[in-house]
């Protein structure tokens, strides 16, 4: 049985807790490994290793740190199939979907490779008589990341390259459901030449999370997960004096205007709603067609597409969707569909009870299409995080915008239309952090930053891109004057440069 251990100070260790947890292959339902679980002791050790590495790493020239990212990029590119296979084996997503995850991670590594330019400061000469001022951004120290199961490589690689390129050292607490990707990420960094202690990996559950949030030497914490846990991480981390960015859940809507290309919209909804079995915080889970005629036509196009979804393991090159992560997740998703049906939603395509020949013990859910969903139903209010697409019909465009703006989540949204006026109005009025126009999953490229609004995000900074540079550094401003032979005497008023 494969045993997945912590990596602290460059060394594999089982820690001292003696606790382990099973890791499963979602396609077969069989245990594939066990992961050791750490807590306060292991986090303390990881922080000590990171502290010991910080001085040398933070004083490494930014250009040299950037060159390490270039080396990492080459290694990841050469091993992308291996990375994708590691993702799929424990998460279940298709191989192509896992390759897409690797590609988006590589984009952040590319951005981090240019860190020398991103850390350039400002300088002003003669702000006063013989006085100059410069501003620079300096590393925080030891920082940490707590990452989710649904993107076991991409999300850690949204955090780690930016944090360490800025000169920090890092403690990663990945999901214990699919932990092998985190250890592989360490191997990739090690191969690229990263010194021991700069990146440490501690596996664990809530005990490890609390140890991260409470540790006095961890300066900042990045988190991606559900909204209740994001709020917990933000509140507890801030109370401990840390800088915290905590990205939470979503209920992403797509408005389909009467003038939209409905085939294009239906295809977009298929990928955005059922890719990665809907286990994405940027998944479109609510389609909002405008008017009954548009709604009827959209459902007529969606139903056969959903029913024909090719579902299979990652080893099946034709598979469009894999299993969900655990048996518990499957049970929860089924319960959401049951509740929606009971509350009056029409089950147009039913994915409950799917069995796959040869993989009868896997955690399978078929694609599900619900029509006539209303805003009062639990299936609308809840982030299902599964392969379920709800159709909520709106009478007009204004009603649809109000619906989205009233929802507690504000992560991502989209509009499909040929009308430039409608699109422009939508992008201006909608209270959501990431907006797509004829783009179903508007995840920003790495030169911009990812982040939602309202209860989809806690903290002032988005993840990766320019926002990450500001999150992982702090501003220092230095004002200097050298003796010029002129002595002004003591000044007792507040200094000014006028």
Active site residues: 281
- For the chain, how many residues are written? 498
| Neighbour count for residue 376 (Cβ, 10 Å) | 9
Contacts of 128 (CB under 8 A, 6+ apart): 481, 497
User: Is the C-alpha dihedral spanning 230, 236, 238, 244 positive or negative?
Assistant: negative
Question: Could you give the CA distance from residue 175 to residue 283 in angstroms, rounded to a whole number?
Answer: 20
Structural contact between residues 101 and 150, judged by C-beta atoms closer than 8 angstroms: no
DSSP string, 31-48: EEEEEEE--HHHHHHHHH
How does DSSP classify residue 195?
P
The alpha carbon dihedral of 434, 435, 438, 444 has a sign of negative
Annotate 320-350 with b (16+ C-beta within 10 A) or e (fewer): bbbbbbbeebbeebbebbeebbeeebeebbb
How far is 221 from 243, CA to CA, in rounded Å? 6
Provide φ and ψ at 215, rounded to 5°: -65, 125
Q: What stretches of 193-291 show up as alpha helix (H) in DSSP?
A: 206-214, 227-239, 262-274
Which candidate, 225, 70, 44, places its Cα nearest to that of 142?
44
The dihedral through the CA atoms of 26, 32, 37, 42 has a sign that is negative
Bridge partners for 133 per DSSP: 124, 479
Segment holding 132, helix H or strand E: strand 131-139
Query: Cβ distance 262 to 297 under 8 Å?
Result: yes
Cα distance from N-terminal residue to C-terminal residue, the chain: 72
């Amino acid at each position: 049985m494969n045993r997945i251990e912590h990596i602290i100070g460059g060394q594999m260790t089982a820690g001292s807790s003696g606790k382990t947890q099973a890791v499963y292959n979602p396609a077969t339902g069989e245990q594939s490994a066990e992961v050791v679980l750490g807590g306060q002791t292991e986090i303390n050790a990881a922080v000590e290793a990171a502290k010991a590495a910080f001085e040398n790493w933070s004083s490494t020239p930014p250009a040299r740190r950037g060159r390490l990212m270039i080396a990492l990029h080459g290694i990841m590119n050469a091993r992308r199939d291996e990375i994708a296979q590691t993702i799929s084996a424990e998460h279940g997503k298709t191989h192509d979907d896992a390759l897409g995850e690797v590609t988006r991670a590589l984009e952040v590594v590319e951005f981090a490779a240019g860190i020398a330019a991103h850390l350039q400061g400002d300088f002003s000469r003669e702000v006063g008589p013989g006085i100059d001022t410069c501003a620079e951004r300096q590393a925080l120290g030891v920082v940490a990341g707590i990452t989710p199961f649904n993107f076991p490589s991409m999300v850690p690689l949204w955090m780690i390259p930016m944090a360490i390129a800025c000169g920090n050292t890092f403690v990663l607490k990945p999901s214990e459901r699919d932990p092998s990707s985190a250890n592989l990420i360490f191997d990739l960094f090690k191969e690229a030449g990263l010194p021991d202690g700069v990146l440490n990996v501690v596996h664990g559950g809530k005990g490890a999370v609390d140890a991260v949030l409470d540790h006095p030497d961890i300066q900042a914490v990045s988190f991606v997960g559900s909204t209740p846990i994001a709020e917990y991480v933000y509140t507890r981390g801030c109370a401990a004096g840390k800088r915290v960015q905590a990205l939470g859940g979503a209920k992403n809507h797509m408005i389909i205007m009467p003038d939209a290309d409905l085939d294009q919209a239906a295809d977009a909804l298929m990928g955005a709603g059922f890719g990665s079995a809907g286990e994405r915080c940027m998944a479109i889970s609510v389609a909002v067609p405008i008017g009954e005629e548009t709604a009827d036509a959209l459902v007529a196009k969606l139903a056969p597409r959903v029913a024909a979804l090719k579902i299979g393991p990652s080893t099946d090159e034709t598979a469009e969707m894999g299993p969900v992560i655990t048996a518990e997740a499957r049970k929860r998703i089924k319960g959401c569909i049951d509740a929606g049906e009971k509350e009056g939603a029409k089950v147009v395509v039913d994915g409950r009870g799917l069995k796959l020949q040869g993989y009868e013990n896997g955690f399978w859910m078929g694609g599900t299409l619900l029509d006539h969903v209303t805003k009062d139903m639990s299936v609308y209010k809840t982030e299902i995080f599964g392969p379920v697409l709800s159709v909520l019909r709106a009478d007009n465009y204004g009603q649809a915008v109000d619906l989205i703006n009233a929802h507690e989540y504000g992560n991502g949204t989209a509009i499909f239309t040929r009308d430039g006026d409608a699109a422009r109005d939508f992008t201006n009025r909608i209270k959501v952090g990431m907006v797509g126009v004829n783009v179903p999953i508007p995840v920003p490229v790495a030169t911009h930053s990812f982040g939602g609004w309202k209860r989809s995000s806690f903290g002032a900074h988005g993840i990766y891109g320019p926002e990450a540079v500001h999150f992982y550094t702090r501003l220092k401003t230095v004002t200097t004057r050298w003796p010029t032979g002129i002595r002004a005497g003591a000044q007792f008023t507040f200094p000014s440069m006028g």
